[in-house]
């Protein structure tokens, strides 16, 4: 069965092509993912990858990797990245630039903002079907919580809780503080 | 699991080592560094939630099995990408499109004797909606393949200003504090080691990510919040939930509130009645 299983197996998948993006926001950036669904050999390797592009001042909203570590290699540009541990402390808060590698451990919250020339990266993930859990946006944990839980947990009003849940839809967004520098997609 | 971690001479029955008193409950944990737990690759926590207490949303680095020792409550889990299927109907004028009052992911009611399974990295919260203490024992399988970090149990809180239930230094602090007879809340503020995960992010990032004002962002970060891991809910937790809703409706009709057993019995009777009504002995579409 080796011949049938491995010999003719597809070994490559292009994730650099912008038209192949899985998540895309014209103003802020995109992500393409390769996992065991679109490249089955990754099931054996138990690995996957994502290729991301953030335009200038674009923010990839806070999220955590549920079932994998993420080892990020900077392809181009610079970004400010914060990684938060279970103590609620930023155990990485700094800038990364082209050629550098940053490891984001499983379950640790991370946020990225592109600076100056935008930011491009590739992340290697230690699970063939890596899941991300967003903290903000349409599919976020905050959106899925009842308003009453948010009100009590954060000591906020119902109006504030509603804004918290519904004010933001996107995974990628452009920083409002410097929106004049918006780039075309 | 490495075999040499299981080479010890005798076994002991262990009492909890760490005790965290919160606004509406108590968290007791066994030192995960104990050789027995290292051997088994697990950590154990006992949690007591007072009536109307809410254990703040959190997730862990390992899968959990929770056994409900006493009481009842509501469990809310958050699976990324799943729909918010518990939805309050719109209250706007007829024909006018307005946002639903609230919608969130499925809630589950649990009671004494239940085993609850929570996957690694899945955020959840629990609420004691009963009239007695809710006591549960949780096992975290830190050696599970789903945990790619080390074997140290970690809980990531999404709200509040909680203490670390697995921190061995916590116990030392606690003992020291008891010896010194100092106010515990003072130590909490002064230690400043444990916060929710939003606290580690720049406040501006939170404002941008949620499109909220700076005051809301600071509250999300749990600044000046000393209620700890389990908080007392103001009034009652107003949730979109079939059981709670029907209970409220019955209250509106002037009936007394049912006990858990009465509620279950009534539901069973309603199911049997529906069954009998159906001509084919099945539910109608």
> Residue B192's pLDDT is what?
47
Other Cβ atoms less than 10 A from the Cβ of A94: the count is 11
Q: Which of residues 190-229 of B touch A (CB under 8 A)?
A: 193-202, 204-206, 208-212, 216, 219-220, 222, 225
**Cα separation values, A124 from A73, B17, B148, Å:** 8, 39, 14
Mean pLDDT of A15-31: 91
> Residue B94's pLDDT is what?
53
CA distance A93 to A63: 15
Name the residue facing B160 among A67, A147, A153 (closest C-beta): A153
Whether chain A has a CB inside 8 Å of the CB on B159: the answer is yes
- What is residue A86's DSSP assignment? T
> Residue B7's pLDDT is what?
77
Q: How close does chain A come to B222, measured CA to CA in Å?
A: 7
Task: Average the pLDDT over each of A53-57, B45-49, B256-260 and give the range with the smallest value.
Answer: B256-260
Q: What is residue B45's three-state secondary structure?
A: strand
Chain B neighbors of A163, CB-CB under 8 A? 210-212, 216
Count of A–B CB contacts within 8 Å?
201
Mind giving me the DSSP string for B48-77? EE-TTEEEEEEEESS-EEEEEEE-EEEEEE
> Residue B183's pLDDT is what?
40
CA distance B284 to A182: 56
> Residue B246's pLDDT is what?
58
What digits encode the pLDDT tens for the residues A58-68? 999 999 999 99
Residues 6+ apart with CB under 8 A from B256: none
What digits encode the pLDDT tens for the residues A1-21? 666 666 778 888 889 889 999
Residue A180: pLDDT band with limits 50, 70, 90: very low
Other Cβ atoms less than 10 A from the Cβ of A122: the count is 16
CA distance A168 to A125: 27
**Cα separation values, A139 from A166, B21, B80, B104, Å:** 11, 34, 6, 11
Chain B neighbors of A87, CB-CB under 8 A? 164, 193-195, 200
Q: Which of residues 66-85 of B touch A (CB under 8 A)?
A: 76, 78-82, 84
Alpha carbon distance, N-terminus to C-terminus of chain B: 52
Token pair belonging to B109: 């009611």
> Residue A184's pLDDT is what?
36
What digits encode the pLDDT tens for the residues B187-246? 333 344 679 999 999 999 999 999 999 999 999 999 888 899 999 998 888 888 876 555
Handedness of CA A64, B57, B135, B111 (dihedral sign): negative
> Residue B182's pLDDT is what?
42
Q: Which of residues 104-123 of B touch A (CB under 8 A)?
A: 104-105, 107, 120-123
What digits encode the pLDDT tens for the residues B143-183? 999 999 998 999 999 999 888 888 756 554 454 445 444 44
Task: Average the pLDDT over each of B66-75, B156-165, B255-264 and give the range with the smallest value.
Answer: B255-264
Angle, vertex CA B45, rays to CA B43 and CA B46, nearest 5: 155
Q: Over 60: is that where the pLDDT of B6 sits? A: yes
Whether chain A has a CB inside 8 Å of the CB on B168: the answer is no
CA distance B46 to B139: 9
> Residue B179's pLDDT is what?
47
Name the residue facing A152 among B80, B204, B237 (closest C-beta): B237
Mean pLDDT of chain A: 88
CA distance B179 to B173: 10
Contact B208 A135 (CB under 8 A): no
Q: What is the CA radius of gyration of chain B?
A: 22
Regarding an ipTM greater than 0.90, the answer is no
Q: Over 50: is that where the pLDDT of A179 sits? A: no
Token pair belonging to B166: 């697995």
> Residue A135's pLDDT is what?
94
């Amino acid at each position: 069965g080796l011949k049938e299983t491995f010999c003719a197996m597809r070994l490559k998948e292009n994730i650099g092509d912008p038209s192949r993006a899985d998540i895309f926001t014209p103003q802020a950036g995109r992500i393409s993912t390769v996992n065991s669904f679109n490249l089955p050999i990754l099931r054996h390797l138990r690995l996957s990858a994502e290729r991301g592009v953030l335009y200038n001042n674009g923010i990839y909203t806070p999220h955590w990797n549920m079932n994998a570590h993420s080892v990020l290699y900077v392809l181009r540009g610079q970004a400010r990245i914060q990684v938060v541990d279970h103590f609620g402390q930023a155990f990485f808060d700094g800038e990364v630039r082209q050629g550098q590698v940053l490891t984001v451990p499983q379950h640790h919250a991370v946020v990225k903002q592109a600076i100056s020339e935008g930011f491009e990266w590739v992340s290697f993930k230690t699970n063939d079907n890596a899941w991300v859990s967003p903290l903000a946006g349409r599919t976020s944990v905050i959106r899925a919580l009842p308003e009453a839980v948010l009100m009590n947990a954060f000591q906020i009003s119902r109006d504030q809780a509603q804004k918290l849940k519904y004010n933001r839809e996107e995974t990628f967004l452009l920083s409002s503080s410097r929106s004049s520098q918006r780039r075309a997609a | 699991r490495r075999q040499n971690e299981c080479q010890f001479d005798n076994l002991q029955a262990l009492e909890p080592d760490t005790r965290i008193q919160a606004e509406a409950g108590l968290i007791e944990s066994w030192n995960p560094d104990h050789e027995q737990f290292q051997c088994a690759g697990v950590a154990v926590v006992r949690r007591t939630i007072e009536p109307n207490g809410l254990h703040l949303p959190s997730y862990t680095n390992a899968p959990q099995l929770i056994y409900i020792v006493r009481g009842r409550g509501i469990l809310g889990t958050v699976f990324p990408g799943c729909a918010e299927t518990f939805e309050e109907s719109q209250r706007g004028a007829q024909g006018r499109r307005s946002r639903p009052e609230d919608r969130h992911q499925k809630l589950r009611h649990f009671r004494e004797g239940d085993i609850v399974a929570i996957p690694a990295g899945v955020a959840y919260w629990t609420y004691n909606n009963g009239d007695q203490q809710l006591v549960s024992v949780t096992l975290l399988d830190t050696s599970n393949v789903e945990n790619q970090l080390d074997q140290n149990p970690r809980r990531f809180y999404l709200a509040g200003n909680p203490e670390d239930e697995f921190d061995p230094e916590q116990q030392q602090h606690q003992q020291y504090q008891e010896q010194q007879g100092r106010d515990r809340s003072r130590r909490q503020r002064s230690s400043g080691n444990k916060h929710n995960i939003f606290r580690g992010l720049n406040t501006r990032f939170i404002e941008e990510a949620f499109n909220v004002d700076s005051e809301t962002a600071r509250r999300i970060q749990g600044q000046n919040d000393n209620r700890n891991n389990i908080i007392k809910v103001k009034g009652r937790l107003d949730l979109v939930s079939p059981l709670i809703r029907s209970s409220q409706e019955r209250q509106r009709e002037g009936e007394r509130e049912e006990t858990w057993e009465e509620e279950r019995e009534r539901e069973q009777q309603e199911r049997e009645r529906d069954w009998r009504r159906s001509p084919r002995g099945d539910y109608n579409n």
